[in-house]
Structure 1
């Protein structure tokens, strides 16, 4: 995978805000100047040292086939050992921009509380990017010939303990070169990021009878075909040739009645998707007490309360991207509870 050249961008204002956020971490690095300690890599990156410079990700997303609403949900990977990446590295700073970032630290010297930390941060960063350890004069002679790549955090995974695992300081990568660094942005990483961006509709199934049903009466269940359909998200990094499209397709509905005193249709509780893309079949008059292709039959009243019926949709996930003809990601699940009141059938004795 080769990365095409970035066009010029200005990050002076964000860089200053970034500096303020980093000052506490810089204090921890006082005894280990960046660029001289930690685990190095072939592109001059340095791991560890505390106070890692993080950039704001420039990844953009475009959705097809659906949109996020207040009822949209997030997929839970069926493979519990896998999650989308919490962080990665991507092109972030030109030589002029990394210089502006370092100089922005110097402007913090006169601020209350921060004061000396700003100077310390500037000294440490100068040592790395200006004084030749490992970069000299901010790589000005390479302006327009590459970028400093920096760590970014997945905004959807900020509570993930791994979010700080990308702890290398910004490192230089020439145009059309691929950095030999774990978690350097790639089509696959973008595809995995898009996994979290998929607009999964709220899982509320249609029921008949609706709201209240009777003991031993089959309750039909189905999904709205207009709502539960294939959706895609394309994640791309502007000014590069890196992009990926992740697609989710509903494949089955699992029903959990909320009580052991119930039977599901089919007996497994798994309602597969039909050839026409439907899951379950809407109830219509005349079907009476027929067994539904997808549904539930309660064997005992819910009394003065209700049962929490849980409906979970399984989504099959695949992706395509730069240099990839198509691959799979772990299936995802999203479910929700809805209350079902079950009453005894009242009979009249004559």
Structure 2
């Protein structure tokens, strides 16, 4: 078994090599949005980067002027910070490792531990555990390595970097911690979900009155499920996952403690036809709205900031019949509400 010191030295060597040779195309590039970028016209390293990058199909995502990303509702779950995935063909890994090693060896400014680390790292793949970078297996597999989620906190996204590059045959998903899976792709697709803003319809429309119920609703069809598909399509592995967000409830926050909510929780469940609440109509003035609120004091020439937040149920389905639920997401907007005193007429 490799000692901790030896492994740390090799990782330091790997880090030095990557810093000296890294380019966006060399390490898989960034997210690819299939809704706007097809990759046409790419060649060479850029084409390789596209082939090894995770792509996102956002054609079924939310749209509109107030569209935004959902926030995780409660709990400590977050999208994956890093993962292990196919990154290099045998030829590409050999080329980059040799180039990095030569730069370190020929740079008089490199520290002794960096020189030793790069040498030990090179030896693992050239004349050690592996032989000549597996060049004789060029078309049979790929070298796997750590990939960082640029949206994750820096200390979390580097947690996979302790794993040295390793070889896996084409079509094989290695049984190692943090190896890319449909579930990891589903978590990354979660980050790309966009949902529309939430401006509810109110009655009265312009200004409500103190101690009179205000009806709130969203028409059916205004909120529909949205989804994003994340895919990894490489010569060695083809997997994908679709993450879907479906609206389930509306929660109202009146912007002042001097108010009552209907229902008292302030959470209005979605109806069977996809609407929320019930539109106000003539003759309903004496009824309690199924979704709404009642202000107990005026806004005194100003406005209250009514916050309307939609809860979205998040689920996913992936390659090989995989799937499940992810934590609910929430997204809300605010709107101004003017509340006036009822004026009495003196005769």
User: What's the TM-score, normalizing by structure 1?
Assistant: 0.77
The residue number in structure 1 matching 2:327 is: 330
The residue number in structure 2 matching 1:169 is: 164
1:84 aligned counterpart, secondary structure? coil
User: Kindly tell me: are residues 138 and 50 of structure 1, through their superposed partners in 2, closer, same or farther at Cα, counting changes over 3 Å?
Assistant: closer
1:127 aligns with 2:123: yes
Whole-angstrom distance in 1 between the partners of 2:108 and 2:313: 50
Work out whether residues 108 and 114 of structure 1, in 8 Å CA contact, stay in contact via their aligned partners in 2: no
User: Kindly tell me: are residues 114 and 286 of structure 1, through their superposed partners in 2, closer, same or farther at Cα, counting changes over 3 Å?
Assistant: farther
Q: How does 1:1-350 map to 2 (within 5 A)?
A: 36-38=6-8, 51=15, 55-56=27-28, 58-68=53-63, 71-105=66-100, 116=110, 120=115, 123=119, 125-132=121-128, 134-157=129-152, 159=153, 161-167=155-161, 168-210=163-205, 212-239=207-234, 240-288=237-285, 290-324=287-321, 326-350=323-347
Unaligned ranges ≥5, structure 1: 1-31, 40-45
1:237 aligned counterpart, secondary structure? strand
Q: 1:301 Cα shift?
A: 0.9
Q: 1:64 Cα shift?
A: 4.9
Alpha-carbon displacement from aligned partner over 1:316-350 (angstroms, at most 9, x marks no partner)? 11111112354111222222332222121222211
2:233 aligned counterpart, secondary structure? coil
User: What's the TM-score, normalizing by structure 2?
Assistant: 0.78
| RMSD (Å), alpha carbons | 3.2
User: Kindly tell me: are residues 131 and 193 of structure 1, through their superposed partners in 2, closer, same or farther at Cα, counting changes over 3 Å?
Assistant: same
Whole-angstrom distance in 2 between the partners of 1:154 and 1:48: 21
Work out whether residues 149 and 157 of structure 2, in 8 Å CA contact, stay in contact via their aligned partners in 1: yes
Whole-angstrom distance in 1 between the partners of 2:108 and 2:277: 62
Work out whether residues 220 and 296 of structure 1, in 8 Å CA contact, stay in contact via their aligned partners in 2: yes
User: Kindly tell me: are residues 176 and 66 of structure 1, through their superposed partners in 2, closer, same or farther at Cα, counting changes over 3 Å?
Assistant: closer
User: Kindly tell me: are residues 47 and 327 of structure 1, through their superposed partners in 2, closer, same or farther at Cα, counting changes over 3 Å?
Assistant: farther
User: Kindly tell me: are residues 313 and 139 of structure 1, through their superposed partners in 2, closer, same or farther at Cα, counting changes over 3 Å?
Assistant: same
Whole-angstrom distance in 2 between the partners of 1:333 and 1:96: 46
Work out whether residues 303 and 336 of structure 2, in 8 Å CA contact, stay in contact via their aligned partners in 1: yes
Work out whether residues 201 and 227 of structure 1, in 8 Å CA contact, stay in contact via their aligned partners in 2: no
Unaligned ranges ≥5, structure 2: 31-52
Higher helix share: 2
Range 190-199 or range 333-342, more displaced: 333-342
